[in-house]
A and B are shown apart, each in its own frame.
Chain A
Amino acid sequence: MRAPRTTPRRYLPWIGIILTAFVAVPALFAPLIAPYDPFALAGPPLASPSRSHLMGTDSLGRDLFSAVVHGARTSLLVSICVAAPAALIGATVGLTAGFAGGWVDNVLMRITEFIQIIPRFFLAIVVLAIFGDGYRNLVIVLAISSWPVIGRAVRSQTLAVRDLAYVESARMVGARVPRIIVREILPSMWSILTVMTGLLLADVILIEASLSFLGLGDPNHASWGRLASDAQQYLRHAWWLAVFPGAAIVTAVVGVNLVVNDWRPEHSDVGS
């Protein structure tokens, strides 16, 4: 039996970076790259992909390529707006719980476990149905319900380094708690925090797409999920409507996963 591979495959992160760029660049420069307004009638209805419409047109004659490019912008913006506050809350809760220990840890972890167990997808559906389905509400509900994975990872990392000699010695020379947290413990968090936030980013892209697919997206913005949902009734006649928006989602999610996978410890059940 051959020895298990110990060095990571170096080319995978590069594929990840290229795939991510495929989505991130159009997202940044959507108006420059998209040849048409994604909501404007730009050609004949249900035209198959051609030189003037790279990904074909939909039932109203809107350019699919332009909609996919603008969808990238929506998708990335929503996932970043969710992942950033979730990482912040998760890091704060995890650091506090891990460092304080005792009843503070106990209370915070019970809350974390509770929020983690609530079905996020269905919570989002109920919230959007009651409060309205704009992206603001979507971002709020997903950020509030997504931080526990990060919080738990940060807590266990804190527990792992809290009593190490270098932290101990900082405490011994009289460093105060905030200084110990910021200067001694936080630096050891970056890799786990980056990985978790990256995976959350990919997760949110999928969740947003599924919610839009169910009709809960913001109708004022192009969205991959809604494009896929529009495609549903034309499956027999216009394969391109289903194929391209989904391919864009896969590109984004695989890309982000490959980029962060490189740092992921073999055994973590992150993202599962």
Chain B
Amino acid sequence: MTRGYIFARLWQTLPMLLGVVVIGFLLVHIAPGDPILALAGENGDEAYYAAMRERYGLDQPLANQLGTYLWRLAQGDLGTSAIQKQPVSDVILDRLPNTLLLAGTALVISTLGGVLAGLWAASRVGGWRDRTVAIGTLLMYALPVFWLGQIAILWFGLRWGWFPVQGRTDARSRATGLAHVLDVAHHLALPALVLASQQIAVIARLTRATLVDALRSPHIDAARARGVSESRILVRHALPAALLPVVTVVGNRVGHLVSGAVVIEIVFGWPGIGRLLVSATNDRDIPVLLGLFLLIGFAVLIANLLTDITYKWLDPRIRIG
């Protein structure tokens, strides 16, 4: 893999990172009213406002303020939560691991499930399996995640009692070690499956489409002529080529995954950044919201960067455009 490619992609990503920061900064500063109210909350006293004004340099011209803001950001300072009076980075980092656990599990489930469903559909193009997957994926794509979550709670949680419906652990349990891990896994199963569903739909459709395409290529005919079995053709000869686009779609959908996770967390009472986001929204805690926006914007950009590099690594034909 050429080092030049990585540098070129990094070079393209940097201005975008800067752009996300500038958008966040401008949103706060072009908002109606005094930006200090947005940054420090509406229930501080004059002395606090004065201190905050000086800290953010709000008496300076806008360009200087942006400079100060960037400088603070580069040092990892996202400001102070207007409600909790703690550094925004601490408030977010406190919740982030739970969201990563949920989203990461869903990512693994959806990639495996999506590829398998796509294989299953492509094993007989136009047949009943294909149609089942087509209809199933359309429904999964159209279901709002919160609704699927609520239905899952109604059936699997409340009616059949298979899964707990709220939280990350059993509040009564003081379990440690393996028992604790199993408890968390039991709580995680339902929200992770629900979150994975839309992703499964997208990946299954893409895998099927690229497989159907790959099955038309000459080397497949050659393999078939040699008497290779259909299932082996599908898995060993067509699938490797079909997986390349899947890499892209997995990486490019990080934003969807996180926004889905946020909503799912509310449905299942999962203590991640989703609940933080909702309480910050209700309290108009702008520094926290802005911090989350930057974090997610950066995560999406970096996921895209890594996706492109992985793609390049898997397929050396790609040249930078």
**Are B263 and A213 interface neighbours, CB within 8 A?**
yes
**Are B151 and A243 interface neighbours, CB within 8 A?**
yes
**Given the complex of chains A and B, what is the CA–CA distance between A80 and B289 in angstroms?**
28
Which residues of B lie under 8 Å from residue A246 when comparing CB positions?
143-144, 146-147, 150-151
**Are B146 and A213 interface neighbours, CB within 8 A?**
yes
**Are B16 and A257 interface neighbours, CB within 8 A?**
no
**Are B150 and A235 interface neighbours, CB within 8 A?**
yes
Which residues of B lie under 8 Å from residue A258 when comparing CB positions?
138
**Are A122 and B296 interface neighbours, CB within 8 A?**
yes
**Are B142 and A257 interface neighbours, CB within 8 A?**
yes
- Given A4-B125, A119-B300, A253-B142, A127 and B258 touching (CB < 8 A)? no
17 further contact pairs, Cβ within 8 A, besides A118-B23, A213-B144, A249-B144: A1-B230, A2-B124, A3-B126, A5-B126, A114-B16, A123-B23, A125-B281, A128-B281, A129-B280, A130-B38, A214-B278, A225-B146, A228-B146, A228-B147, A231-B150, A242-B151, A246-B144
Number of A-B contacts (CB under 8 A): 156
**Are A114 and B19 interface neighbours, CB within 8 A?**
yes
Decide yes or no whether B73 CB sits under 8 A from chain A. no
Fill in one digit per residue for B43-83: 1 if any A CB lies within 8 Å of its CB, else 0: 00000000000000000000000000000000000000000
Decide yes or no whether B154 CB sits under 8 A from chain A. yes
Decide yes or no whether B267 CB sits under 8 A from chain A. yes
- Given A118-B20, A123-B293, A215-B282, A130 and B138 touching (CB < 8 A)? no
**Given the complex of chains A and B, what is the CA–CA distance between A130 and B286 in angstroms?**
7
**Are A125 and B202 interface neighbours, CB within 8 A?**
no
Q: Could you list 10 A-B pairs, sorted by A, with CB under 8 Å?
A: A2-B125, A126-B293, A129-B286, A210-B259, A213-B263, A232-B266, A243-B151, A243-B154, A253-B141, A258-B138
- Given A118-B297, A119-B258, A129 and B20 touching (CB < 8 A)? no
**Are B146 and A125 interface neighbours, CB within 8 A?**
no
Which residues of B lie under 8 Å from residue A125 when comparing CB positions?
277, 281, 289, 293
Decide yes or no whether B243 CB sits under 8 A from chain A. no
Decide yes or no whether A259 CB sits under 8 A from chain B. no
Decide yes or no whether B249 CB sits under 8 A from chain A. yes
Which residues of A lie under 8 Å from residue B284 when comparing CB positions?
129
Which residues of B lie under 8 Å from residue A266 when comparing CB positions?
209
**Given the complex of chains A and B, what is the CA–CA distance between A119 and B278 in angstroms?**
17
Fill in one digit per residue for A141-178: 1 if any B CB lies within 8 Å of its CB, else 0: 00000000000000000000000000000000000000
Fill in one digit per residue for B87-125: 1 if any A CB lies within 8 Å of its CB, else 0: 000000000000000000000000000000000000011
**Are B281 and A129 interface neighbours, CB within 8 A?**
yes
**Given the complex of chains A and B, what is the CA–CA distance between A119 and B290 in angstroms?**
13
Closest chain-A Cβ to B4's Cβ sits at a distance in Å of 20
Closest chain-B Cβ to A10's Cβ sits at a distance in Å of 14
Which residues of A lie under 8 Å from residue B280 when comparing CB positions?
129
**Are A235 and B209 interface neighbours, CB within 8 A?**
no
Fill in one digit per residue for B19-53: 1 if any A CB lies within 8 Å of its CB, else 0: 11001100110011000001000000000000000
- Given A228-B146, A243-B151, A250-B143, A4 and B212 touching (CB < 8 A)? yes
Q: What 4 pairs across the A-B complex have the smallest Cβ distances?
A: A246-B147, A253-B142, A121-B259, A5-B126
Decide yes or no whether B158 CB sits under 8 A from chain A. yes
Decide yes or no whether B213 CB sits under 8 A from chain A. yes
Which residues of A lie under 8 Å from residue B228 when comparing CB positions?
none
**Are B139 and A254 interface neighbours, CB within 8 A?**
yes
Closest chain-A Cβ to B254's Cβ sits at a distance in Å of 9
Decide yes or no whether A272 CB sits under 8 A from chain B. yes
Decide yes or no whether B262 CB sits under 8 A from chain A. yes
Which residues of A lie under 8 Å from residue B282 when comparing CB positions?
215
Partner of B144 from A3, A4, A206, A243 at Cβ < 8 Å: A206
Decide yes or no whether B242 CB sits under 8 A from chain A. no
Chain B residue at minimal CB-CB distance from A246: B147
**Are B259 and A122 interface neighbours, CB within 8 A?**
yes
Decide yes or no whether A267 CB sits under 8 A from chain B. yes
**Given the complex of chains A and B, what is the CA–CA distance between A133 and B147 in angstroms?**
22
Fill in one digit per residue for A194-218: 1 if any B CB lies within 8 Å of its CB, else 0: 0000000010001001100111100
**Are B138 and A254 interface neighbours, CB within 8 A?**
yes
Fill in one digit per residue for B129-148: 1 if any A CB lies within 8 Å of its CB, else 0: 00000000011011111110
**Are B293 and A122 interface neighbours, CB within 8 A?**
yes
